[in-house]
Amino acid sequence: MAVSPLISPLLEQAGTAGLRHGFFTRQGGVSEGIYAGLNVGTGSNDRPEHVNENRQRVAQWFGLGTDRLVTVHQVHSPDVVTVTAPFEAERPKADAMVTNRPGLVLGVLSADCGPILFADPEAGVIGAAHAGWKGALTGILENTIDAMIRLGAERGRIRATLGPSISGNAYEVGPEFVERFVAEDAGYESFFRPSEKPGHAWFDLPAFTAQRLTRAGIAADSLGLCTYADPQRFYSYRRTTHAAEPDYGRQISAIALQERP
């Protein structure tokens, strides 16, 4: 089965400007067992040759070699890296990347956290961010937008799409989690609804992410897909935890500026 990523209609409108993007599912890969499919997680305990082959398939979908697929060491931070060439040494610790260089595929890995792809097609500036609750709360989205603007993007032209992530129907959190958000902004209470466990709540991470993007002044949408609820298409850290499995795979979301002939 060939890889066949999900496409954002909002970003697809920019395709004529030399952009290509995809929110890849777990379908179309060579990994086996609990990693079955297109696991690109180098931090997993999957067989390295399988992960490398899966990453190669992603790069080939963009018409490029694996060396042009750029990913960072994600650490749930608000930190953004401006990429001008593939990393020659150790991958930097960060959770987003931006570039204005054609021929580089910016990829973020996820397994419940939100993958967000950004583009200003007119300026030829793109970005990719990994936003779990911590990154979204501490500014990874806004920092990505600011980094794009430093490369020549304009806020009013930037568009972004949130890919598959855990939904508010599957993300139960404790009282200290809720308190941290409400202490930041009392209005954030609207992203929580009580669960059956005393003091616990269901957290709507996609809605929180969408609000942060909208408040940052850019056009944004979401694919509206839950990683937890769809084991055939998506890896999920929380689903793996509930199933008491020893490890989990990661899917990738990626975007590139295509090189002009």
* Domain presence at residue 190: no
- Rounded to whole angstroms, the Cα distance separating 145 from 220 reads 12
Please name every residue paired with 257 in a beta bridge, in sequence order, or none if there are none: 19
In terms of phi and psi (left: phi > 0; alpha: psi -120 to 50; beta: otherwise), the region of 177 is: alpha
pLDDT of residue 2: 86
Residue 81 — φ and ψ, nearest 5°?
Answer: -115, 135
Domain that holds residue 140: 9-165+220-257
Enclosing H/E stretch for 145: helix 140-150
- Rounded to whole angstroms, the Cα distance separating 210 from 206 reads 6
Contact 40, 27 (CB under 8 A): no
* Domain presence at residue 36: yes
* Domain presence at residue 176: no
* Domain presence at residue 4: no
Total tally of structural domains belonging to the chain: 1
| 90-110 per-residue burial string, b: 16 or more CB within 10 A, e: under 16 | eeeebbbbbbbbebbbbbbbb
Q: How many residues does the chain have?
A: 261
Identity of the residue numbered 190: S
Would you state the structure tokens that stand for residue 232, as one six-digit string? Answer: 């055939």
pLDDT of residue 43: 93
Check which CATH number belongs to the domain holding 144 and give it.
3.60.140.10
Q: Work out the number of other CB atoms within 10 angstroms of the CB of residue 199.
A: 12
pLDDT of residue 101: 97
Q: Quick one: 231 exposed, middle or buried, by C-beta within 10 A (0-12, 13-18, 19+)?
A: middle
- Rounded to whole angstroms, the Cα distance separating 133 from 208 reads 9
Q: Which of 114, 152, 131, 120 is nearest to 80 (CA)?
A: 131
* Domain presence at residue 206: no
pLDDT of residue 258: 86
Contact 44, 51 (CB under 8 A): yes
- pLDDT one-digit tens code per residue, 54-75: 999 999 999 999 999 999 999 9
pLDDT of residue 13: 80
* Domain presence at residue 195: no
pLDDT of residue 200: 97
* Domain presence at residue 246: yes
For the chain, list residues with pLDDT below 70: 14-17, 260-261
* Domain presence at residue 180: no
Residue 224 DSSP class: -
- pLDDT one-digit tens code per residue, 199-228: 999 999 999 999 999 999 999 999 999 999
Enclosing H/E stretch for 19: strand 19-23
pLDDT of residue 18: 85
pLDDT of residue 15: 60
